[in-house]
């Protein structure tokens, strides 16, 4: 009886999948983007930039209600002027990402999205390291659940995401040594591992769009540092590090004749319970004697403004000018002078990027871009022994994109 049931079930399933598969419509998704340029920063010598990204995927429309999207992305970011604070120009990364997404246009007039994804990032600080051994290599695995619904001219969507971020090579031997006499060293392996839980809401009305994202970053092993020696000889308390990131963004798409623009504003805020204990030197095992402890060291707010302007000058030619401005203000982190001494004023960074150039689009699938960019990064952080904070950089190059 059980075998008959199994055979019937198999027949039903095969009939179901055959019916679905016979109606499936496939469409490819392919994108190759290459950027080759030169950057001339005010600090250090000039260097070649290279960025390479390749997406290959497939969209399968199972029927009117269900579609599946799967794609693989490989991305290489070579040496370049970094936008983000705390990165060397020589840093390079290689990313692999696999995404499977399902869309269901429900009978109740809303779309349900579900996704699982895996992302692996390999990092190198220079050419003399091997890929796969970077201290901050990342493995991310997780997924997303989302819903989209239209209310007349208003489209609203909400997403819930969960990802675990694992740093397989991370360790900090110096931190392990920094225990007081009689204490026991705790391994720093796994201390960067954390979970990202994100709730996002976004909406569109005519040309206006906006979004709010709340992200919780909960570390699995990284404990909050204190200024009091703990029973195990370390300075780590029992509480785990936990950060909350809130991002609010808005933009409007405007177009008139040959002119188009999409000004945007974004406000971000990070609240972290992590503190900072300063050691005079990387090899010091005892905290500095002068102002060693700084609470709320990693919390900040950030305001970003963007004004891209596009001008279609011919059928296949488009001129562009993009202005980006960003201000990052730390809540409590003091700035430092050139010798590394802490100052009373709080650290504040400003970033301004002006990019201009033209796009050449001879057909719907290829775009060639020639660009010129000027980046100005300034900060009251003057201690730049390890990382650049104050510099200007001029970049130019060509970008080729093939997208189908």
Partner 1 sequence: MRIVIRAVLIITLLNASAMASDSPKLPQEIINLGLRFIDNPADFLFDLHSNMEDSVPVPAYRNAQVRFNFFPTFIPFTWAGLNLKVKVLNERRYIPQIDIQGQYGQNIGVAVAAAMMSRDSSSTSTVKPTLYDYTVGLILTKRVDQSNRLFIGPKFSYVNLNFKPSEPLDFGGGLKISDLNVAASEIFIFGGLEHQISKDRFVVSQMAYGVRYNKLMARITASSPHVEVGMNIYPEGVIVIHPFLAWHWYF
Instruction: Assess 109 for contact with partner 1 (CB under 8 A).
Output: no
Of residues 259 and 404, the one with the C-beta less far from partner 1: 404
CB-based contact 238:222 (threshold 8 Å): no
Side-chain half-sphere exposure of 51, counting CA atoms within 13 A: 16
Shortest separation between residue 30's beta carbon and partner 1, angstroms: 4
Shortest separation between residue 17's beta carbon and partner 1, angstroms: 12
Side-chain half-sphere exposure of 303, counting CA atoms within 13 A: 3
Distance of CA 9 to the CA centre of its chain: 45
The alpha carbon dihedral of 12, 18, 21, 23 has a sign of: negative
DSSP letter assigned to residue 42:
S
What x-and-dash track marks residues 120-159 binding partner 1 by CB under 8 A? --x----x---xx---------------------------
Which listed residue (41, 78, 334, 357) binds partner 1 by CB under 8 A? 78
Binding footprint of partner 1, residue count (CB under 8 A): 28
Shortest separation between residue 170's beta carbon and partner 1, angstroms: 19
Shortest separation between residue 78's beta carbon and partner 1, angstroms: 6
Per DSSP, the three-state class of 171 is coil
Instruction: Assess 30 for contact with partner 1 (CB under 8 A).
Output: yes
Torsion, Cα 74 78 82 85, to 10 degrees, reads 70
Instruction: Give CA–CA dist 308/26, Å, rounded.
Output: 35
Please give the C-alpha separations between residue 379 and each of 276, 302, 345, 399, in angstroms, as whole numbers: 20, 14, 12, 30
Q: Of the listed pieces 7-15, 47-55, 81-89, 237-245, which binds partner 1 according to CB under 8 A?
A: 47-55
Instruction: Give CA–CA dist 11/255, Å, rounded.
Output: 55
Q: Which residues are CB-neighbours of 370 under 8 A, at least 6 positions away?
A: 357, 358, 360, 396, 397, 398, 399
Phi, psi of 155 (to 5 degrees): -115, 125
Shortest separation between residue 2's beta carbon and partner 1, angstroms: 31
Which listed residue (72, 151, 259, 317) binds partner 1 by CB under 8 A? 72
Which listed residue (40, 52, 327, 370) binds partner 1 by CB under 8 A? 52
Instruction: Assess 99 for contact with partner 1 (CB under 8 A).
Output: no
Instruction: Give CA–CA dist 300/384, Å, rounded.
Output: 20
What x-and-dash track marks residues 384-403 binding partner 1 by CB under 8 A? ----------------x-x-
Q: Which residues are CB-neighbours of 47 under 8 A, at least 6 positions away?
A: 38, 39, 79, 89, 90
Of residues 268 and 397, the one with the C-beta less far from partner 1: 397
Distance of CA 193 to the CA centre of its chain: 16
Phi, psi of 180 (to 5 degrees): -75, 165
Rg (CA), the chain: 25
Instruction: Assess 54 for contact with partner 1 (CB under 8 A).
Output: yes
Instruction: Assess 172 for contact with partner 1 (CB under 8 A).
Output: no
Instruction: Assess 97 for contact with partner 1 (CB under 8 A).
Output: no
Of residues 237 and 368, the one with the C-beta less far from partner 1: 368
Which listed residue (6, 9, 17, 28) binds partner 1 by CB under 8 A? 28
Of residues 136 and 402, the one with the C-beta less far from partner 1: 402
Give the footprint of partner 1 on this chain (CB under 8 A): 26-28, 30, 32, 34, 36, 48, 50, 52, 54, 56, 58, 72, 74, 76, 78, 92, 94, 96, 122, 127, 131-132, 365, 400, 402, 404
């Amino acid at each position: 009886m059980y075998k008959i049931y199994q055979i019937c079930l198999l027949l039903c399933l095969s009939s179901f999948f055959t019916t679905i598969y016979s109606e499936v419509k496939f469409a490819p998704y392919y994108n190759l983007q290459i950027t080759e340029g030169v950057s001339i920063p005010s600090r250090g010598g000039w260097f070649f930039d290279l960025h390479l990204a390749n997406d290959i995927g497939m969209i399968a429309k199972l029927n009117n209600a269900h579609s599946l999207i799967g794609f693989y992305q490989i991305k290489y970011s070579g040496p370049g002027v970094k936008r983000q604070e705390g990165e060397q120009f020589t840093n390079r990364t290689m990313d692999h990402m696999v995404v499977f997404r399902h869309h269901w246009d429900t009978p109740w007039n809303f779309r349900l999205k579900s996704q699982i994804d895996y992302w692996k990032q390999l990092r190198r600080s220079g050419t003399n390291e091997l890929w796969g051994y970077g201290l901050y290599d990342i493995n991310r695995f997780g997924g997303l659940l989302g819903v989209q619904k239209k209310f007349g001219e208003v489209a609203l969507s909400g997403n819930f995401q969960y990802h675990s971020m694992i740093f397989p090579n991370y360790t900090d031997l110096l931190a392990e040594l920094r225990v007081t006499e009689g204490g026991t060293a705790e391994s720093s392996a796994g201390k960067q591992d954390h979970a990202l839980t994100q709730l996002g809401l976004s909406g569109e009305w005519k040309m206006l769009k906006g979004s709010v994202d709340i992200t919780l970053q909960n570390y699995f092993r990284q404990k909050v540092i204190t200024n009091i020696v703990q029973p195990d000889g370390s300075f780590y308390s029992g509480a785990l590090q936990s950060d909350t990131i809130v991002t609010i963004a808005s933009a409007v798409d405007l177009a008139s004749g040959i002119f188009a623009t999409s000004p945007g504003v974004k406000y971000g805020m990070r609240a972290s319970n992590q503190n900072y204990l300063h050691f005079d030197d990387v090899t010091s095992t005892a905290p500095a004697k002068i102002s060693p402890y700084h609470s709320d060291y990693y919390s900040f707010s950030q305001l970003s403004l963007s004004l891209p302007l596009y001008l279609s000058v011919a059928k296949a030619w488009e001129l562009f000018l993009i202005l980006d401005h960003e201000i990052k203000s730390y809540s409590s982190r003091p700035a430092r002078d050139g010798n590394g001494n802490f100052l009373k004023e709080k650290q504040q960074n400003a970033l301004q990027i002006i990019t201009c150039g033209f796009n050449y689009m001879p057909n719907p699938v290829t775009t060639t871009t020639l660009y010129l960019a000027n980046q100005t990064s300034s900060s009251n952080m003057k201690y730049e022994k390890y990382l650049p904070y104050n510099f200007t950089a001029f970049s130019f190059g060509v970008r080729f994109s093939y997208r189908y």
